[in-house]
Chain A
Amino acid sequence: MNYSASELMTVNAARLLRDGDTVFVGVGLPNLACNLARRTHAPNLLMIYEAGVVGARPSRLPLSIGDPTLVSGSMLVCSMYDIFTLYLQRGNVDVGFLGGAQIDRFGNINATVIGSYQHPKVRLPGSGGSMEIAAWANRCYIITPHQKRRFPEKVDFTTSAGFLSGRSQRLATSVRGNGPQAVVTDLGILQPDENGELVLTALHPGVTIEQVQANTGWGLKVAPDLRTTEPPSEEELRILRQELDPTGIYL
């Protein structure tokens, strides 16, 4: 079965979601992953969008975080202040999806600048909702292609917190969220160990440990119980290709 890197990441991210989860969704692959999970093993997934939409049932692929298709047929629409307080920080969000230009050894994310903040080499869009989502969603997942420049030892700027420089550091802050639980890439899956350091816990079919290590900017450790992921199924690919992204905008 042939599948693209985006399809592989989306399918694996979808499988991390649990039935009944309340998810803070982003556009692009996270949106596809959530809708795929809802059509397969998690029919009771509740999707929340930072624009203030709760219980969205998009009938077409949303192309922006505030797409009108998110509103029509949704359960509830509220202000941005409400979505970040009553929903996120009050403890009503199980899962947050995050992305960024850099993810480091301890799962900290940079979506702000490459280089120095005052004189950036590359200016990136910035936090948006991610600073609070990373802190206050119970579990966070990250979907990103696996390239060395995206996985430095230390991010240039911590836009949103992973485990800082070790799990105990995060625990010492007053944030409730448990931090990043998995980074899904096109090579495999990284998950934090007891110290909060990202280690390789799964390889996608046909990928080698050396390949992943060569594409990671620190000495990536391998979990003792390293597994190989199940390839995307025919049904998962059919839903993605025929129902969710028929014109291949994200896949």
Chain B
Amino acid sequence: MTKLCTLSEAISRFVHDGDLVYAAGFTHLIPFAAGHEIIRQGRKNLILARATPDIIYEQIVAAGCARKIIFSYMGNPGVGSLRVLREEVENGHLDWEEYSHFGMISRLQAGASGFPFIPMNQTAATDLEHANPHYRRVKDPYTGVEVIVVPPLLPDVAIIHVQRCDAEGNAQIWGIIGEQKEAAFAAKHVVVTAEEIVEEEVIRSDPNRTIIPAFIVDAVCHVPYCAHPSYTQGYYDRDNLFYLNWDKITETRQGIQQYLEEWVYGVKDRQEYWQKLGKETHQRLSVKPRWSVPVNYGEY
């Protein structure tokens, strides 16, 4: 059964006010188009979880759609600080819950595995453990040593961008796979956005590359260039220039509002956004192909 629909339909059906949202992707495959659609549809009081909130969550927070953020590294990767998130936290306007990367992905791993909690090694640094009551200690029943535990993270919806997917939602990713699989299995609902929608036989030609099976997917959206200014391995490069410019755009609240007006509210969808970026940017972000050697699965 096909689950193909527009991104606008998918967000409208599966992202509700107050939901805990996990828009996945560690630097790679960040579903910016979905973030923009959430802003356009004016969602409120969202709880936003991501290891690295990145610019996508800064935009959603700046647009007034969120009340809380769950994270493990809140910076502009390779540039510095995320000014709006930082100010909102410093001023007490935005609630937050913080982990190390490993604590964050352990929560997802527990959620994805159906575990009641998950053990982690001690790190000798205990300040975060004391600041966040979700970090607890239990005694290892085998050795008596104390281990740290965290509860499962169970997002209401995970949004996962992929290179290719069939109409039912069998999705393949290559390049950095971050916490995509765990986020998808932990979530109650999964929205997949894809650079390409392919026939089922393309997926079946390389089953080892499939990381999300259709039966956990609720919606499939064909959204080329969904990840810009993040990137899709093999399809387009990361727009490092934009990440640098964002630092300037966010110097004033007015700057951010102008950005949102022009690039989020001012465009209908990702296609219009991508066209608006223009040929020069398209060219700058284009990548030369570098193919892998095909593998032989054998005819049995």
Could you list which residues of chain A lie within 8 angstroms of chain B, going by C-beta atoms?
Answer: 27-28, 50-53, 63-68, 70-73, 77-81, 84, 89, 108, 112, 117-132, 134-136, 157-161, 164, 170, 173-175
* CB of B105 closer than 8 Å to a CB of A: yes
Contact A170 B124 (CB under 8 A): yes
* Chain A, Cβ-Cβ closest to B80: A125
CB A69 to nearest CB in B, in angstroms, measures 9
Contact A77 B177 (CB under 8 A): yes
Q: How distant is the Cα of A64 from the Cα of B71 in the complex, in angstroms?
A: 18
CB B226 to nearest CB in A, in angstroms, measures 16
Q: How distant is the Cα of A136 from the Cα of B122 in the complex, in angstroms?
A: 9
Given known pairs A158-B126, A160-B125, the reply for A117 and B131 (CB within 8 Å) is: yes
Given known pairs A51-B28, A52-B176, the reply for A64 and B101 (CB within 8 Å) is: no
Contact A84 B177 (CB under 8 A): no
Given known pairs A131-B123, A173-B122, the reply for A52 and B178 (CB within 8 Å) is: yes
Chain B residues numbered 94-153 whose CB sits less than 8 Å from any CB in chain A? 98-103, 105-106, 108-109, 121-128, 131, 145
CB B47 to nearest CB in A, in angstroms, measures 17
Contact B102 A72 (CB under 8 A): no
Q: Which residues of A contact B75 (CB under 8 A)?
A: 125-126, 128
Contact A130 B238 (CB under 8 A): no
* CB of B74 closer than 8 Å to a CB of A: yes
Contact A66 B101 (CB under 8 A): no
Contact B78 A126 (CB under 8 A): no
* Chain B, Cβ-Cβ closest to A160: B125
Q: Which residues of A contact B72 (CB under 8 A)?
A: 126-128
Chain B residues numbered 181-197 whose CB sits less than 8 Å from any CB in chain A? 181-182
Contact B101 A50 (CB under 8 A): yes
Q: How distant is the Cα of A173 from the Cα of B147 in the complex, in angstroms?
A: 11
Quick one: CB contact mask for B74-86 with A, threshold 8 Å, 1 for yes? Answer: 1101100100001
CB B25 to nearest CB in A, in angstroms, measures 9
Contact B78 A131 (CB under 8 A): no
Q: How distant is the Cα of A63 from the Cα of B237 in the complex, in angstroms?
A: 12
Contact B182 A66 (CB under 8 A): no
Contact A117 B100 (CB under 8 A): no
Given known pairs A125-B81, A132-B100, the reply for A51 and B73 (CB within 8 Å) is: no
* Chain B, Cβ-Cβ closest to A71: B175
User: Which residue in A71, A119, A135, A174 is a CB contact (below 8 Å) of B233?
Assistant: A71
User: Which residue in B27, B109, B175, B287 is a CB contact (below 8 Å) of A77?
Assistant: B175
Q: How distant is the Cα of A132 from the Cα of B72 in the complex, in angstroms?
A: 12
Q: Which residues of A contact B105 (CB under 8 A)?
A: 79-81, 84
